Structure 1
Amino acid sequence: MYPSFQNNVLFVLIPTLVVVATQLLLIRRVSSLKMTNAYLDHKCSANQGKYKPGSYYEKIFDSAIQELSKNTEAFRGGSIYMDYTDLQEIRSDPERIYFTFQCRGDIYGPQCRSCFATAQSELIKRCPRDKGAIIWYDHCLFQFSSIGTAGGINYDDSVCYNTARARPNAKSHISDSVFKFLTLLDNLTSIAVIKRNKFFKNVDQPALFAAGEKTFGNKKLYVMVQCTRDLNAKACEECMAYNIKHFEDCYENKPVGLKSGARVLGRSCNFRFERYPFVNPKTSSIYLKF
C-alpha cells in the first residue's frame, strides 16, 4: 500500500511542480518587463543656482508641477515638453521654467503617470530648491531647468552603465560581435526616426523609439533606442551617433569584445542592450524581430 500511495503522490506532484515553475517563470518575465521601475541616476545642476523658499520662482514651479500632474494627454502619449511661466503676473522679464518628461516607449497611461509622480517627488528631495535637475528611472526621465533646451542636443547630462560582465567566450569573435551590435543599433535608430508610433496613427511625427531582438550565434540580443520628442530626426541621429562613439568603452570590453549588457542614460537620447527581454513587445510603439 505504501509504495502505491507514494507513486500516486509523485504522479500528482510532478505536474503541480511544472505548473508552479511555469508560473514563477512567467511572473519573473512579467516583472522584468513591466512591474519594476527602479531608480537609475540623477544630476543636480548647480550652475543654475537655487531659488529661495516662498519666492516667485517657487510659486510658478509648484503651479507647473500641479499642471503637469493633471495632464492626462501627456501620460497617454508618454511625453511632454513644457515652457511654463505665470501669465497672470505682470513682469517685464518673467521667469520661466522648462520641463521635460518622457516615458519609455512601451510605457503609457497609468504606469507613465505613476513614474512621473515618483520622479518629480524624488528629484525635488534629491535636489532641494535647485533650478535645474534631471532624474532617470527605468520607465521614465524627468527634468526641470531655468534654461530652455527644446530641440537642442544635451551632450552634458549623459552617463553609461555596464549591466553585465563580458562574455567569456567572445575572444575569437571580437570584431564580429561588436560590428553586428553596432549595425543593429544603427538599423533601429534609422527606423526610430522614420516610422510612426503604431498606437497614434494620426500623429504625423516619427516615434523616436524602436526596440527589437536578434539572434547572434546561440544567444539573443535585446536592444532599445529612444530620443526625447523635442528633437527632430536629424538631431536624434546625431545624439545617438555621439553617445555610441563617446561611450564605446562602456559596451565594448577590449580586447574581449561586446559586453553582455550596457545602457546609456541621456537627456536627449539613450540606448540599452541586454541578453534578456526588458521591454514589452505588445506595448512598444515599434518592436522588431530581425
Structure 2
Amino acid sequence: MYSSFSVSKRLILVPILVMVAQVLLMRSVSSLNMNNAFVYHKCSANQGKYKPESHYKKVLDSGIQELSKDKEAFRGGFVYMDHTDIKEVRFEPERVYITFQCRGDIYGPQCRSCFATARPELFKRCPRDKGAIIWYDHCLLEFSSISTSGKINYDDNFCIDTARARPNAKTHTRDEVLEFLTLFDNLTSIAVTKRNNFVKDVEKPALYAAGEKRFGNKKIYVMVQCTKDLTPKACMECVRHNVVQFQNCYENKPVGLKIGARVFGRSCNFRFERYPFVNAKTSPNYLKF
C-alpha cells in the first residue's frame, strides 16, 4: 500500500525531470553551436619551405596582417587574397594566395574569433611551409604559393564519420540512404541557386544551405557549403564528387546510413548529424523539408 502523497510527488517529479532534460539539451546544442574545435590541418610539402628572413615570409606576414584588419571579410565570412609587396621591384614579384572562409551560419565577431585562433595555429603546425591549410568547426584558413581561386581542390579532402550504425538498428536501411541522397542533392541545388538572404544587394548564390528532415521517428540535420571563389557549377561538381568518393564514410554497408559524417575539403564540405549543429536563425537558406 502507498499513500497519495508519494503518488503526487511522482507526478510532480516527472514533469520537472522532463523540463531539466529539455534545458540540458538546449544548453548542449547551444554550446555545440558556439564550439570552435580544431578539426585537421595539412602542410603542403610539394610547395617547399621558405626561410625565416625570406621575401616570401615578408609577403605572407603582410598578407595575413592585412586580412586581420579586413572587417568586410569577417562580416561576409569569406576572402580570397592575391597578395604581393608592391614596394618590391621584381621581374616576377613573390605572391601569396590566402583563402579564409567561415561556416555559413558564422559571421562577425565569431568569424573573426575563428581567424584569430587559426592564424597562429597554422604557423605553429606548418612552420616555414609555403602552403598550408587548417580546418576548425567554424572556419578554414589556407595560404599558398600557387593560385587556387576558382579551382576545385580534390587533393585535400577527408572524412570523419561520427558513429557507426548498429547492425540491428531498424532506422538504418538502404531506403534511408536513398532518401538521404535525395535530400542532400536537393539541398545542394538550393545552395548553388539561392542567394544569401541575410546579405542585401548580392545576387550571387550563397553556396551554402542547411536544413532538417524527419526520417521515421527521428530527424536528420544536414549542411553543404563551397568556398565562394567557385562557380555554382564547380560547387555542384565538387560536392557530387565527394558524395561518391566518401560513400563508405557515411554509408555503413550493408546496414545503411551511419549516424553522422563530416566531409571536409578546401573547395567544399558537407555534414549530417542526428542533432542540430548549426544555428538555424543565422543560417542562410535553412529549410525544413
Same fold (TM over 0.5): yes
Spell out the pairing of 1:120-269 with structure 2 (5 A cutoff): 120-170=119-169, 174-269=173-268
C-alpha deviation, 1:285, in angstroms: 1.3
- Cα pair distance change 1:93/1:203, threshold 3 Å: same
Identify the residue that residue 49 of structure 2 maps to in structure 1: 50
Unaligned runs of 5+ in 1: none
C-alpha deviation, 1:28, in angstroms: 1.2
C-alpha deviation, 1:23, in angstroms: 3.4
Secondary structure, aligned partner of 1:147: coil
8 Å Cα contact 2:225/2:269 also seen in 1: yes
Identify the residue that residue 32 of structure 2 maps to in structure 1: 32
Identify the residue that residue 68 of structure 2 maps to in structure 1: 69
- Cα pair distance change 1:173/1:37, threshold 3 Å: closer
- Structure 1 position 23 matched with structure 2 position 26: no
CA distance in 2, matches of 1:9, 1:250: 48
C-alpha deviation, 1:258, in angstroms: 0.6
Percent of paired sites with the same residue: 69
C-alpha deviation, 1:286, in angstroms: 1.4
> Aligned partner of 2:75: which letter?
R
Aligned length: 286
CA offsets 1:240-275 (integer angstroms, 9 cap, x no match): 111001110111111111111001000000000000
CA distance in 2, matches of 1:148, 1:85: 12
CA distance in 1, matches of 2:105, 2:97: 25
Secondary structure, aligned partner of 1:255: coil
CA distance in 2, matches of 1:238, 1:213: 23
CA distance in 1, matches of 2:107, 2:98: 18
Secondary structure, aligned partner of 1:231: coil
Identify the residue that residue 107 of structure 1 maps to in structure 2: 106
> Aligned partner of 1:229: which letter?
K
Greater mean alpha carbon deviation, residues 74-83 or residues 165-174? 165-174
- The alignment's C-alpha RMSD in Å is 2.3
Greater mean alpha carbon deviation, residues 173-182 or residues 235-244? 173-182
CA distance in 1, matches of 2:274, 2:17: 27
CA distance in 1, matches of 2:17, 2:176: 38
C-alpha deviation, 1:27, in angstroms: 1.5
CA distance in 2, matches of 1:232, 1:57: 30
> Aligned partner of 1:31: which letter?
S
CA distance in 2, matches of 1:31, 1:201: 29
C-alpha deviation, 1:48, in angstroms: 0.2
Give the TM-score taking structure 1 as reference length: 0.92
8 Å Cα contact 1:171/1:255 also seen in 2: no
C-alpha deviation, 1:174, in angstroms: 3.2
- Cα pair distance change 1:15/1:273, threshold 3 Å: closer
CA distance in 2, matches of 1:49, 1:149: 16
CA distance in 1, matches of 2:13, 2:26: 20
C-alpha deviation, 1:169, in angstroms: 3.9
CA offsets 1:107-134 (integer angstroms, 9 cap, x no match): 0000000001111110100000100011
- Cα pair distance change 1:226/1:12, threshold 3 Å: same
Unaligned runs of 5+ in 2: none
CA offsets 1:181-204 (integer angstroms, 9 cap, x no match): 100110000000000001112112
CA distance in 2, matches of 1:268, 1:72: 23
CA distance in 2, matches of 1:178, 1:30: 28
CA offsets 1:141-161 (integer angstroms, 9 cap, x no match): 110000001111001010011
Secondary structure, aligned partner of 1:163: strand
8 Å Cα contact 1:167/1:260 also seen in 2: no
